[in-house]
């Protein structure tokens, strides 16, 4: 559903409640997943807009030309300009925020050559539908002295520090930032989900008080949800509505309204298999689900209707480890325990291509499509992070993390993600309790993130700033921010600065 439609339905629901048609309003609310106000709070705005239109004093002004609104925005809040341009989380703004990862760019080519002398190789690629191919030279492109000088300029590297720690009663398994970066959620083996305010975590310097409740106004943890009966595997935020979705081994996908005080889901999808991975389409009406079954599901979140690929031979042959849409939702990637990665056309749910054994016979565990849709980031139980060119299946480079080099296929799950600018890749390390930051263009190691005392299982990156959430089997989720600016102004005694800024939530 487009944002203009959501705005319209919100006005309709409010008007129906205002005029006393509560049953009709409730039905529309349940079908569209738009909150229904109570009688005394319902708006008469739709009728007012109609009157102004009839009198010729102005049009309806239904916020045309937007991509998505802030996930914490109240549609009925007159102070929020939903249709304003330059929104922090519109697709165009995210793409244009900084130059994308693009090795067709001579500067970025030179950075890769300067940072590493590895040879590009190609995985066995099966293409099942026609797609435009782009040829990229493996040799060095002609570069001027100006380009070489830019490449050699010293880049100010990030310095991530822990600003807040949230603690579950069991392993912290997954995390997700909202589309506008204002919230982050963590999921645990204890079946709970915590919703945290990013700004409060960033600025929280209050001395820890063991008696302070999670839900107190000053606390970064603003809500804890309980409704699953088994561990949480994945989380995702709706791109426009204040809705958090969770996936669990109990076979359900649950939806929570995080603007309400309810700690239970208001809606859920029951599947026949454990849910391993979920991801909202940017439109918000569809959600991908990877399960313990080999077939990927695409659910309509309004009707719960399920879709799968028509051709049986296009499906994976084992449980799905992860599914992820591209930024515009036109394609999505999936990886499976069958040791393959697949690229799909979202518009008709058809297979575009398959990477066979991209991680040397070991299962790939995570996938992510770059903002410009040229590249695919993957990692697997072979301890390798790999960057692929999507159209050709060509391997751009690989990074050996050494996580599972002790022999055999280690039980540790490898996780890797771009930061919001795609300048860096963050992954877990050969030391189980450590996460590592790599330069995405030179492959150089930039920083080790220490502090956990057990295996780091998952890493989530903010879509709007250099902020991370690392999840560990030590029951903790650690929130990290880039302290580069403050360190550059006061580089002395950095370790003490880190300790002083840290707070822990139990």
Three-state SS string over 209-270 comes to CCCCCCCCCCCCEEEEEECCCCCEEEEEECCCCCEEEEEECCCEEEEEECCCCCCCCCEEEE
Asked whether residue 70 is assigned to any structural domain, the reply reads: yes
CA distance 263 to 442: 45
Question: Measured between alpha carbons, how far is 268 from 230 in angstroms, rounded to an integer?
Answer: 15
Q: Specify whether 59 is located in the same domain as 198.
A: no
Please tell me whether residues 162 and 46 are part of one structural domain. no
In this structure, the answer to whether residues 158 and 83 fall within a common structural domain is no
The range of the structural domain enclosing residue 27 comes to: 3-87
Report the C-alpha gap between 189 and 20 in whole angstroms: 44
What pLDDT does residue 348 have? 92
Task: Tell whether 43 is covered by a domain.
Answer: yes
Closest among 177, 114, 118 to 418, alpha carbons compared: 177
Same domain, 181 and 42: no
Q: In 366-400, which positions are buried (b, 16+ CB within 10 angstroms) versus exposed (e)?
A: bbbbbbbbbbbbbbbbbbbbbbbbbbebbbbbbbe
Q: What is the CATH number of the domain that holds 356?
A: 2.130.10.10
Q: What DSSP character marks residue 40?
A: G
Residues 6+ apart with CB under 8 A from 400: 383, 384
Phi/psi at 114 (nearest 5 deg)?
Answer: -65, -40
Residue 95 is predicted with a pLDDT of 44
Would you tell me how many other CB atoms lie within 10 Å of the CB of residue 229? Answer: 11
Residue 116 lies in a domain: no
Q: How far apart, in whole angstroms, are the C-alpha atoms of residue 253 and residue 280?
A: 12
No. of helices (H) and no. of strands (E), the chain: 9, 31
CB 246 within 8 A of CB 225: yes
Whether residues 25 and 161 fall in one domain: no
Q: Are residues 379 and 277 in the same domain?
A: yes
**172: Cβ contacts below 8 Å, ≥ 6 apart:** 166, 186, 187, 188, 457, 458, 471, 472, 473, 474, 475, 476, 477
* Number of structural domains found in the chain: 2
**100 occurs within a structural domain:** no
Confidence at residue 124, expressed as pLDDT on a 0 to 100 scale? 58
**Cβ density class 77-105: b for 16+ within 10 Å, e for less:** eeeeebbeeebebbbeebeebeebbbbee
CB 477 within 8 A of CB 138: no
Beta-carbon contacts of 30 under 8 Å, excluding residues fewer than 6 positions away, are none
Question: Which residue among 54, 87, 120 closes a domain?
Answer: 87
Tens-digit pLDDT profile for the chain (506 aa)? 667 788 888 889 888 888 888 878 888 887 788 888 877 778 888 887 877 766 554 333 323 222 332 333 232 333 332 223 333 444 445 445 455 677 666 566 666 655 643 444 456 565 554 444 444 444 433 433 333 344 444 457 899 999 999 999 999 999 999 999 999 999 999 999 999 999 999 987 644 443 344 445 568 999 999 999 999 999 999 999 999 999 999 999 999 999 998 999 999 999 999 999 999 999 999 999 999 999 999 999 999 999 999 999 999 999 999 999 999 999 999 999 999 999 999 999 999 999 999 999 899 999 999 999 999 999 999 889 999 999 999 999 999 987 655 555 556 778 999 999 999 999 997 677 999 999 999 999 999 999 999 999 999 999 999 999 999 999 999 999 998 855 444 433 333 333 334 455 55
Angle between helices 22-32 and 3-18 (to 10 degrees): 160
Q: Is residue 492 domain-resident?
A: yes
The tokens for 153 are 């300029």
Q: Which of 376, 392, 384 is nearest to 341 (CA)?
A: 376
CA distances from 35 to 3, 146, 218 (A): 15, 55, 26
pTM of the predicted model over 0.85: no
Last residue of a domain, one of 71, 87, 103: 87
Q: Give the residue from 87, 103, 130 where a domain finishes.
A: 87
Q: 353 pairs with which residues across the strands?
A: 127, 343
189 & 68 share domain: no
Q: Strand pairing of 384-389 and 456-461?
A: unpaired
Asked if the structure places residue 462 within a domain, the reply is: yes
Tokens of 108: 């970025």
**For residues 55 and 360, what is the distance between their CA atoms, to the nearest angstrom?**
70
Does residue 398 lie within any of the structural domains?
yes
The angle subtended at Cα 191 by Cα 71 and Cα 320, nearest 5°, is 75
Whether 52 maps to a domain, the answer reads yes
């Amino acid at each position: 559903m487009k944002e203009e439609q959501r705005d319209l339905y919100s006005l309709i629901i409010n008007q129906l409640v205002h005029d006393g048609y509560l049953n009709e309003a409730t039905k529309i609310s349940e079908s569209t997943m738009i909150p229904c106000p109570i009688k005394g709070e319902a708006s008469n705005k739709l009728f007012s807009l109609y009157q102004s239109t009839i009198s010729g004093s102005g049009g309806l002004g239904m916020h045309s030309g937007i991509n998505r609104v802030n996930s914490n925005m109240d549609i009925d809040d007159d102070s929020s300009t939903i249709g304003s341009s330059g929104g922090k989380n519109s697709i165009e703004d995210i793409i244009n925020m900084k130059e994308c990862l693009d090795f067709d760019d001579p500067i970025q080519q030179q950075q890769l050559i300067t940072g590493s002398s590895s040879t590009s190789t190609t995985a066995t690629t099966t293409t099942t539908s026609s797609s435009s191919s782009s040829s990229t030279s493996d040799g060095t492109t002609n570069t001027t002295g100006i380009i070489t000088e830019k490449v050699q300029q010293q880049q100010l590297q990030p310095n991530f520090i822990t600003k807040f720690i949230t603690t579950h009663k069991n392993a912290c398994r997954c995390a997700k930032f909202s589309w506008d970066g204002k919230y982050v959620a963590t999921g645990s083996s204890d079946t709970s989900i915590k919703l945290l305010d990013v700004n409060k975590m960033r600025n929280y310097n209050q001395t820890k008080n063991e008696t302070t409740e999670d839900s107190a106004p000053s606390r970064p943890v603003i809500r804890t949800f309980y409704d699953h009966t088994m561990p949480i595997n994945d989380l995702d935020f709706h791109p426009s509505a204040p809705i958090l979705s969770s996936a669990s081994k109990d076979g359900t996908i649950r939806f929570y309204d995080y603007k309400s005080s309810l700690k239970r889901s208001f809606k859920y999808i029951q599947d026949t298999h454990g849910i391993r991975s979920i991801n909202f389409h940017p439109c918000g009406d569809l959600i991908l689900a990877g399960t313990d079954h080999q077939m990927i599901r695409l659910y309509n979140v309004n009707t719960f209707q399920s879709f799968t690929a028509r051709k049986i031979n296009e499906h994976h042959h084992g449980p799905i480890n992860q599914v992820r849409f591209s930024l515009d939702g036109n394609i999505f990637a999936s990886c499976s325990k069958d040791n393959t990665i697949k690229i799909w056309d979202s518009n008709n749910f058809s297979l575009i291509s398959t990477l066979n054994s991209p991680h040397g016979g070991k299962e790939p565990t995570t996938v992510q499509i770059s903002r410009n849709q040229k590249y695919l980031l993957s990692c697997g139980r072979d301890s390798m992070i790999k960057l692929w060119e999507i159209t050709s299946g060509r391997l751009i480079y690989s990074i050996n993390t050494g996580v599972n080099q002790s022999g055999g296929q280690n039980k540790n799950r490898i996780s890797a993600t771009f930061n919001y600018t795609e300048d860096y890749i963050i992954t877990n390390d050969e030391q189980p309790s450590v996460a590592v930051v790599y330069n995405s263009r030179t492959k150089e190691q930039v920083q080790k993130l220490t502090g956990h005392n057990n295996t780091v299982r998952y890493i989530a990156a903010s879509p709007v700033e250099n902020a991370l959430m690392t999840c560990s089997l030590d029951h903790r989720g650690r929130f990290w921010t880039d302290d580069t600016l403050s360190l550059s102004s006061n580089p002395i005694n950095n370790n003490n600065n880190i300790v002083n800024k840290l707070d822990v939530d139990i």
